[in-house]
Copies of this chain bind each other. A is one copy, B any other.
């Protein structure tokens, strides 16, 4: 697998010079992670950030009694743990391959060195972290201030294109992303269907009444 050209396609790296890119590639490690493999675990020293080249990872939290909350799913082209790497410390979450995946590991020190020379890269990273921060704030808002049905409505609106939302993983997985479990989520789906707000097709959800969904999200 050619690493250099692939990195070109990642928005974050698109403006780097050949030399800078190869500087990154030099210490990068490419690893295959079969489905179900642990990529890193919460509590480990956070010395790398990752680029998903193929497949998909889930980044998740685990409770003492085994419940799981999925922070986000990273697919091909997405970065993982870009945030954790800057304040030295440990990964606050774990990551596991949910498909057979290829992952590029970049070492912190190399990145930091590159950042000193390349302010544009730093700005791009700041923008990326800023985005992630927004996403987390939205999640906190969901968990603290909205019920499961409203969270589902928000998810559908957020992840739809042209009135249709493709569901990638299983509903169990979606439940873990919304901070709940399968059964309550299933009931929320039913409520939205009964109220005529959505319609379920195989492979996704059609949003019939986006205004109605938005009203739900905002609390009537």
A residues near B, CB below 8 A?
A: 61-65, 67, 69, 71, 83-87, 89, 92-93, 112, 115-120, 122-123, 125-134, 136-141, 143-146, 179, 218-220
Contact call A116/B115, Cβ cutoff below 8 A: no
Contact call B219/A65, Cβ cutoff below 8 A: yes
Partner of A89, one of B92, B93, B129, B134: B134
Contact call B84/A144, Cβ cutoff below 8 A: no
A162 to chain B, nearest CB (A): 22
Q: For residue A85, which residue of chain B has the nearest CB?
A: B130
Contact call A146/B63, Cβ cutoff below 8 A: yes
Partner of A132, one of B112, B115, B127, B133: B133
On whether A144 and B143 interact (CB within 8 A), knowing A84-B130, A86-B126, the answer reads yes
With the chains together, A128 CA to B186 CA distance in Å?
39
Partner of A137, one of B93, B128, B143: B93
Q: For residue A89, which residue of chain B has the nearest CB?
A: B134
Q: For residue A176, which residue of chain B has the nearest CB?
A: B144
Chain B residues with CB under 8 A of A83: 129-130, 133-134
On whether A133 and B64 interact (CB within 8 A), knowing A116-B123, A117-B119, the answer reads no
**18 additional contacts (CB under 8 A) given A61-B141, A63-B144, A87-B130:** A69-B145, A71-B140, A84-B130, A84-B133, A84-B134, A86-B126, A86-B129, A87-B128, A89-B134, A115-B119, A115-B126, A116-B120, A117-B119, A125-B126, A129-B129, A129-B130, A133-B133, A140-B143
